[in-house]
Structure 1
Amino acid sequence: MKNASAILLDNGIKPSYQRIRILEYLMTHRTHPTVAEVYNALIDEIPTLSKTTVYNTLKLLIDHEIVSEILIEEKEVLYDVAEEDHGHFKCVSCGALVDFDLIDAPPSVPEGFVVQSVHIYYKGLCDKCREKQNNA
């Protein structure tokens, strides 16, 4: 994968230090963070950083399809580097969010329609929580 600065330049985005660090954080921490989590992770390194800057940078990265929003719960927006299409599984017990590969079969859509993105979310119990539940 390219470095953050090159990705920004390739997409016509000025690679400011804050933008580079926000994108690098997402690229190295595949934890699907919130705006607050990105902000809290970088504030000590970048004392001038604001939550507004993080939000605006993420919006810019979404607009250029570098990052995608994950909306599984109405009250929570998570962010993910937009690499290959993949789905997400959220454990309803512990809250873990795990990526999984999508099946390569094309979606069935009406003739003439064009799919631009696919978002698949499953909710259930992860293996650890299922095991705890079975042993209880």
Structure 2
Amino acid sequence: MKKHYYSRDEIAGLLRAHGINPTHQRIEIAYALFGRQAHLSADQIMAIVNDRHSETSKATVYNTLNLFKQHKLIREVIVDPNKVFYDPNTEPHHHFYNVATGELTDIDGADVRIEGLPPLPPGLAAEGVDVIVRIRPAA
């Protein structure tokens, strides 16, 4: 999977292309994710943004991440009920989650095959399948 690292100017264009008004705070939050191409938690994003500009609240970070998610600019990856990552890679792919280090890394979607899914309930369509492989150091 090829990663593209964005500049702040490119971020503004990316937000506009997704129908999002590129305010200063939105650009900084997007840059924290897209400038690094990393899986980050909301707290990590807030720390990065506030290291540069200390005026961004936790509510603003969460509201902005939800806006980005609604506009399909990012994916939310829930590795457990208390640990949520935001992923700037919206292409089909899966993840390794290292339970010892808390690190989330990509698995190319072509490297995972899902077979034998049950029939979907009537009137529903599949939106996607997310596989999270939890790993730890071998004993």
Partner SS, residue 133 of structure 2: strand
* Equivalent position of 2:13 in the other structure: 6
In the alignment, the residues of structure 2 paired with residue 31 and residue 72 of structure 1 have an alpha-carbon distance, to the nearest angstrom, of 15
Q: What's the CA shift string for 1:1-51, capped at 9, x where partnerless? A: 572111111121110011111111101223311111111111132222111
| 1:96 shift after superposition | 2.3
* Equivalent position of 2:132 in the other structure: 121
The residue type equivalent to 2:132 in the other structure is Y
**Poorly superposed stretches of 4+, deviation over 4 Å:** 104-109
Say whether residues 1:30 and 2:41 are aligned partners: no
CA RMSD of aligned residues (A): 2.3
Q: State the TM-score, normalized to the length of structure 2.
A: 0.79
1:64-79 counterparts in 2 under 5 A?
64-79=71-86
8 Å CA contact 1:65, 1:82 repeated in 2: no
**Unpaired runs of 5+ in structure 1?**
none
Q: State the TM-score, normalized to the length of structure 1.
A: 0.81
Identical columns (%): 29
**Closer, same or farther: CA 70–85 of 1 in aligned 2, 3 Å:** same
Say whether residues 1:88 and 2:99 are aligned partners: no
The residue type equivalent to 1:56 in the other structure is N
Q: How many residues of Structure 1 are paired with residues of Structure 2 in the alignment?
A: 128
Partner SS, residue 52 of structure 2: coil
**Unpaired runs of 5+ in structure 2?**
none
Flag the structure with larger Rg. 1
